[in-house]
Structure 1
Amino acid sequence: MIEVTKDLPRSADGLQMDWLEVPFGPVFPGLPGGLKLTLTLDGDGVTEGQATSLVGMATEGEGSEESQESEGSQESEEMDADTFIEHLASAIPLAPVSYRLLACLAIEQAAGLSDDQATTQARNSALERERIASHLGWLAQSGRQLGFAWLTQRASTLQLKVRDAGRDRIAELEPELRTLGTRLERTPLLKSRLKGIGVLPVDSSDLRGPVARAAEDGGDAWARLWQRLDEIAASLELLKSGEEPELPVLRDIGNASGTGKATVDTPRGEARLSLKLEHGKVKSYKLDTACSHHIDLVPKLVEGQELGDALLAVGSLDLSPWEVIS
């Protein structure tokens, strides 16, 4: 045995074993579909890992030299404004309202339109409704990883109820939503399972959304869970004082030309869009998303962890493969 294993890498426990490269995904319980996680295993320990998206948006067309050198730049055939909005919303199915709103705001700025308070409030209500639904979807996914069938069932059922609900219906669902948070707080061993898992490296940069806000309170999977529960509660309060949620629809821009940019705090963090509008058509655009940065956290989060902890750490980031710009 000594002769057979003498040239193999040495594990943390002193044993010498074969290192195996194992793929998880693009369909794996507890991880979003379309995300491929490749881990190198030393027994049940992870020596290194990498996450890639198999469904993310890619640069289209030839583009200019400047466009090709800029990450996330898109330059292709012109699209009229409404077609572009539908294209962006359908390309990112886990947050279509957020990206529809982002496109509307950037195009309207390029067209020189000023803010309309009533429209803005209705759009923001739709955004907060999507935030609640998105966080519920993440809770359902986490339930699969943790083996909590009750959480998966409850969160996914509430997600479907909230997704297209009006203000009155969401008000009716509020007690159920708050009860879910209370039950999670009282779930035995949940804190001990998540506390200290997926602690962000001290040199992490460009964090956004719940991941960034949770970094101020421990920066682990437990903090990210409670950050999203807090955001559900905050969104419920905003919906009470806001307008009836309305799907963002582009206002009349005529045959306008110009450049515009916008930022929207999506459920996973800030997304930024800049574009060039020519005679009512989107000529080119550049999109920057939170998940394009958060996916780079995976190697440091999984290195040196046990397999189960590594999977929980990646799941706690709530990566959307469709929001990874390649």
Structure 2
Amino acid sequence: MIEVTKDLPRSADGLQMDWLEVPFGPVFSGLPGGLKLTLTLDGDGVTEGQATSLVGMTTEGKEDEAMDADTFIEHLSTAMPLAPVSYRLLACRAIEQAAGLEDDPEISRAREVALERERIGSHLGWLAQLGRQLGFAWLAQRASTLQLEIRDANRDRIAALEPAFRTLGTRLERTPLLKSRLKGIGVLPSESSDLRGPVARAVKEGGDAWARLWQRLTEISASLDLIKSGGEPELPVLRDIGDVSGTGEATVDTPRGEARLSLKLERGKVKSYQLDTACRHHIDLVAKLAEGQELGDALLAVGSLDLSPWEVIS
């Protein structure tokens, strides 16, 4: 045995054994499709972890690839299927700023309501994913059903669904073993840099998977309140910009955190752009959260980040 194992890496317990590199994804229950997670396993422990996107887009457009403004908006929103409203709004804001248009409060209010509706739906999608990962079939089914119901709902329908959201939150709070399974998993220190969205806000409450769960539930409640005080949700549509040129910048707090877009408009066409997203930075957290953890804990930690592979841009 000494001869056979002499060149093998040494485990944390002092034993020498083979380390296995195991891929999870791009199709793996409990993780978003399109995300490839590669873990190096020492028994059931993770020694290394890395995540890559197989579907992400580029961060910038080139000068020789100009697009009509409306075409660009469709391109960006279609490229982000987990948050199309957020990126449609981001593009509209940047283009309208480049065109020198003043803010229209009524239009902005309808757009914001649509954004909050998408935030609720996105967080429900993550809850369904968490249910699949934990083996809670009831959570996966209930969250998925509510996500479908709210996707195109008007304000009255959203208000009618509010008791169902409250009931879901109460049941999660009373679910045995949920807190013990998530508490202390995937802890991010308060000094972590460039965190955004729910991941960043949850750091103040402990920075673990449990805190990220409750941050998203809190945001669902806040979004419901904002929708009740707003108008009807309307899909962002570009206002008339004419045949203008200019530069514009915009920021939108998407369900996963701030996305930023700067672009150059020339005679009504988007000549170039630069895009920055939360997931572009959050994917780098995978190695830190996975290494040194048991396999099940590592997968929960990665899942709790709610990474969208489409928003991991290069």
For Structure 1 versus Structure 2, the TM-score category normalised by the shorter chain is over 0.9
Alignment of 1:84-103 (within 5 A): 84-103=72-91
Match of 1:161 in 2: 149
Alpha-carbon shift at residue 12 of structure 1 (Å): 1.2
Secondary structure of 1:275 counterpart:
strand
Contact kept? 2:61, 2:271, Cα under 8 Å: no
Give the aligned partner of residue 20 of structure 1. Answer: 20
Contact 1:204/1:297 (<8 A) preserved: no
Q: Return the TM-score normalized by structure 2.
A: 0.99
Q: CA deviation at 1:202?
A: 5.2
Gaps of 5+ in 2: none
Matched, 1:140 2:128: yes
After superposition, the C-alpha distances for 1:29-52 in whole angstroms (9 at most, x for unaligned) are: 000000000000000000011000
Deviation (angstroms), 1:200 = 1.2
Report if the CA contact (8 A) 1:98-1:127 is conserved: yes
What SS is found at the alignment partner of 1:157? Answer: helix
Distance in 1 separating the partners of 2:190 and 2:292: 16
Match in the other structure for 1:220: 208
In the other structure, the counterpart of 1:40 is 40
| TM alignment of 1:313-324, pairs within 5 A | 313-324=301-312
**RMSD of aligned residue pairs (Cα, Å):** 0.8
Greater shift, 196-205 or 163-172, is seen at: 196-205
Instruction: List per-residue Cα deviations over 1:137-189 (Å, max 9, x = no partner).
Output: 00000001000000000000000000100000000100001100000000000
SS of corresponding position for 1:272: strand
Map Cα deviations across residues 101-144 of structure 1 (whole Å, 9 max, x no partner). 00000000000000000000000000000000000000000001
TM superposition shift of 1:242: 0.3
Aligned partner of 1:250 in structure 2 is 238
| TM-score of the superposed pair, with normalisation by structure 1 | 0.95
1:3 aligns with 2:6: no
Please name the residue that 2:54 is paired with.
54
State the alpha-carbon separation in 1 of the partners of residues 271 and 36 from structure 2: 32
Distance 1:201 1:19 in 2: 28
Contact 1:53-1:324 within 8 A present in 2 as well: yes
> What residue identity is the alignment partner of 1:144?
R
Task: Name the count of aligned residue pairs.
Answer: 313
Q: How does 1:117-196 map to 2 (within 5 A)?
A: 117-196=105-184
Q: Which runs of 5+ in 1 are unaligned?
A: 59-71
CA distance in 2 between partners of 1:83 and 1:258 (Å):
18
| 1:272 counterpart = 2:260 | yes
Q: 2:269 — aligned with what?
A: 281
